[in-house]
Amino acid sequence: MTGRADPAETLAYVDDCLGPEARSAFEVRLKVDPELRREVAQWESQNRAIRAAFGAPPRNALDLGGASNENIVRRSGEAMRSGDGAARPLAQARKRRAAARPIAKPRPSGPGPSARRLVGAVALAAAIVWVGLPSLGLRPPAALFAAGAAAAHALADQPVEFAAGDPAALALRLGPRLALAPPPAPGLQLLGARLAPGSQATATLYVYENLQGARVALMVEPLDEVAAAPVRRDEIDGLSVAAWTGAGYGFVAAAAGDADIAALVAAAGADDERLAEAGLQRR
Amino acid sequence: MSSVREWSDDAGALRRFGLALVRDDRFVFDDVAASALIEKLFRQASLTLVDCPGADRRAARVRAFAQFVRLYRRHARRLAVDEDGGWLETPPSARGCGSAAVGVRALPLELREALLLVVLAGFTHREAAEALDLPLAVVIDRLARARARLAAHMAASREAAVAWPQSAHLRIVK
């Protein structure tokens, strides 16, 4: 099927109203049609903007690293609720909770009910499966892929904003949360960094150059409480893109060729096994 | 336990939906009234579905939202408060918020309710059609129009934000 997608079908895809088969068929078309991808990205971003504007948690928690967002919404909801309905700042609510703690009824110290133990066992088993089978369960957020590719596409060929020669000055300009020391990658020369729009927040785009003079970009975005996910490779708008998450950050490497990506991913700490899992090979 | 939590999720969703949909502060004038209305709507929806075999929480949710939409439509029609640009006051939830919220609130009621049901409340197109008591094709058409209008509004806001520093003139005040 090569024809343009029906607008109603595009809306149904964006609003998660397609059945599994129709969804798969649409995703096949999405891969080969950049115009359709742009349209879907536009509506998805609009959905996110609306949900964020009215304090709703993100619909797809994994895609947006959303467990943390949901927690933030819940926490801020707790802080904002009050007896008289008036809004109170978060810090004030925390102080009140802290003050209330000493007079709160102590919890019983004996063993909990068996149901609680059963839930604990199930949670432990789920955690073991989650950690043990990362290739089945965990993927870097799709929004991270898209944001990294878009930033690399638009900004990697632009002059860098911060020179790479002085990491201390770089850290000072970017602030402690944004500045991770950029990894030295074999065959790649670090040119510097730019600020770029990430999937959720401002990100740092480190720009490298390979021996042929082509630019390679590494986007690093701070993400609250995002689960660590192994490297995944994709191809977006002619760019080879690899993304992974860990240590509270999302990473996206983007370049024209796989070899540069592999060098960057390996420099960032991935071993050969992880590279092979993502379909990448060291140079 | 889970039903209490689900109910609370649904109530939260309806509260957010209501804040985004309603332009007139007189419809629900404070937080206590909003809580009472939401509780009443969900209780009514649950009660009416008790005798329906196969009816589930989803059906109760659709019914509660549908009832809210009907109540607000009636209020807007009676007081003529929701004509384009004819709202009385900027609701507290819209003050100081970004272009998406302002753009959503600037949409006419018929587009706003379809868009918010799907995007904010997480309804499928079919459920939205059921809640709005409209054919599915009409809901999809309204969604497409709402999205196009909102995209135009957000693009215009972005352009205005970019153009502002050049156009703004500072004046020395002595």
Q: What is the mean pLDDT of each run of 10 residues along chain B (174 residues)?
A: 59 84 73 80 75 71 88 78 48 53 86 92 91 91 93 78 46 54
Match 């649904």 to its residue by tokens: B10
Q: Which of A45-54, A92-101, A201-210, B13-22 has the lowest mean pLDDT?
A: A92-101
What is the spatial distance between Cα A253 and Cα A245, in angstroms, rounded to a whole number?
Answer: 12
Which among B88, B104, B69, B80 has a CA at the least distance from the CA of B25?
B88
Give the confidence band of A280 by pLDDT, cuts at 50, 70, 90: low
Contact flag A11-B16 (C-beta cutoff 8 Å):
no
In chain B, which residue's Cα lies nearest the Cα of A60? B122
**ipTM value > 0.95:** no
* pLDDT score at A146: 80
Q: What is the mean pLDDT of residues A112-127?
A: 72
Interface A-B: count of C-beta contacts within 8 A: 65
List of E strands, chain A: 162-163, 188-197, 202-210, 215-222, 229-236, 239-246, 249-255
Is the confidence at residue A207, as pLDDT, over 80? yes
In chain A, which residue's Cα lies nearest the Cα of B31? A85
CA angle B73, B79, B82 (to 5 degrees): 55
Residue pLDDT, tens place only, A158-189 = 777 776 666 666 666 676 666 666 667 777 87
How close does chain A come to B70, measured CA to CA in Å?
21
Please list every residue in chain A whose beta carbon sits closer than 8 Å to the beta carbon of residue B115: 50
Give the confidence band of A197 by pLDDT, cuts at 50, 70, 90: confident
What is the spatial distance between Cα A59 and Cα A52, in angstroms, rounded to a whole number?
Answer: 10
Residue pLDDT, tens place only, A136-148 = 456 777 778 788 8
What is the distance between the terminal CA atoms of chain A, rounded to a whole angstrom? 38
* pLDDT score at A175: 67
Q: Which of A29-43, A71-85, B154-168: highest mean pLDDT?
A: A29-43
* pLDDT score at B5: 56
What is the spatial distance between Cα A256 and Cα B6, in angstroms, rounded to a whole number?
Answer: 47
Give the confidence band of A84 by pLDDT, cuts at 50, 70, 90: very low
In chain B, which residue's Cα lies nearest the Cα of A40? B147
Residues in B 97-116 with any Cβ partner in A closer than 8 A: 97-98, 100-101, 104, 115-116
pTM of the model: 0.47
Contact flag A56-B13 (C-beta cutoff 8 Å):
yes
Round the average pLDDT of chain A to a whole number and report it: 70
Q: Which of A1-10, A76-85, A257-266 has the lowest mean pLDDT?
A: A76-85
What is the spatial distance between Cα A121 and Cα A115, in angstroms, rounded to a whole number?
Answer: 10
What is the spatial distance between Cα B63 and Cα B42, in angstroms, rounded to a whole number?
Answer: 8
Q: What is the mean pLDDT of residues A124-132?
A: 58
How many other CB atoms sit within 10 Å of the CB of residue A144? Answer: 30
Task: Give the helix/strand (H/E) hosting B22.
Answer: none
Contact flag B100-A53 (C-beta cutoff 8 Å):
yes
Is the confidence at residue A81, as pLDDT, over 60? no
Residue pLDDT, tens place only, A229-259 = 778 888 777 788 888 887 777 888 888 877 7
Query: Of the candidates A7, A8, A54, which has its C-beta nearest B120's C-beta?
Result: A54
Query: Of the candidates A8, A43, A51, which has its C-beta nearest B120's C-beta?
Result: A51
Please list every residue in chain A whose beta carbon sits closer than 8 Å to the beta carbon of residue B19: 54
* pLDDT score at A246: 74
* pLDDT score at A30: 86
How close does chain B come to A41, measured CA to CA in Å?
12
Interface test with A, best of B5, B120, B130 (most A CBs within 10 A): B120
Q: Which of A5-14, A159-168, A217-226, B16-25: highest mean pLDDT?
A: A5-14
Give the confidence band of A93 by pLDDT, cuts at 50, 70, 90: very low
